[in-house]
Amino acid sequence: MSRRVGVIGHPVTHSISPRFQQAGFNAAGLDARYEAWDLEPGELQDFIDGLRRDDAFGANVTIPYKEAALRHMDGLHETARFVGAINTIVNNDGHLQGYNTDVTGFQRSLSEAGFDPSGKHAVLWGAGGAARAVAWGLIWRGVDSLTIINRTAVRGGRLRHDLASASAGARLRSMGADDEAVPAALRDADLVVQCTSIGLNGSETDGHLPFDPTWLSDHTFVADLIANPTETPLVKAARESGHQAIGGLPMLVYQGAAAFELWTEREAPVAIMLDEAAAAMSESES
């Protein structure tokens, strides 16, 4: 029986997940089709219920449904419960389990780049769903301090409050993007993670920088969660200034590989998936 799986979002026409996930299924010799499922908000519940059928592995979930989809799960992995959002649904004989593999995807992208956040000072730029996953991952990896900088200080403060219950000794603070303390916070950071859509290809902020990169210290490691373009304005500026910097493509593939393994109970062919994702991005940028 051919199995179906896909990515739920709105819009999802830009997603390269079907490309690299299908490459993974093909390499593993699995009879499965990975599709893009663009849903209107009113279609979400019925569609998710349809994933209980025998022919469905489950789904990935992307913007704007990561929080809404969580409410339709029969069970949640503890990571998804902490983060408050899911990006992966697994169909276990009609029982839908929600996971958040963004956490492990980000952690792996840091590890593969040779950066260990343990004992480090980290700054998150943004306080949305992606920032929540990154924040939990950094706390679980033992950061010494975590500063959340967001356009609106209230939202950043809400995330800081949520994290405080499990900060494991990490020092937490938050501030608005216009706070006079922002340059000093960035200058003191060992790691800065850009978690907003600023710089996203085709968006209103295409080509924009979230902050002045001259505020960074020479040793600061920069990570931008945006996968398109592969080299965002921030990553480009950071590299030109001598910083080690990574874009969001590795995290995208690693979180997808973790989902692949949850669906199939097989090791994901990560190298093949990375190559296919890079090829898809190269084609979209040419």
Catalogue the active-site residues. Answer: 66
Token pair 């952690």 is at which residue? Answer: 107
In which order are the strands placed within the sheet that holds 32-38?
32-38, 3-9, 56-61, 88-92, 95-99, 75-76
Q: Is the Cβ–Cβ distance between 72 and 43 less than 8 Å?
A: no
Phi then psi dihedrals of residue 61, to 5 deg:
-130, 130
End-to-end CA gap in the chain: 38
Q: Is the Cβ–Cβ distance between 233 and 224 less than 8 Å?
A: no
Q: Is the Cβ–Cβ distance between 64 and 10 less than 8 Å?
A: yes
Q: How far apart are alpha carbons 7 and 113 in whole angstroms?
A: 27
Token pair 């990571």 is at which residue? Answer: 79
Q: How far apart are alpha carbons 126 and 210 in whole angstroms?
A: 10
Q: Is the Cβ–Cβ distance between 118 and 143 less than 8 Å?
A: yes
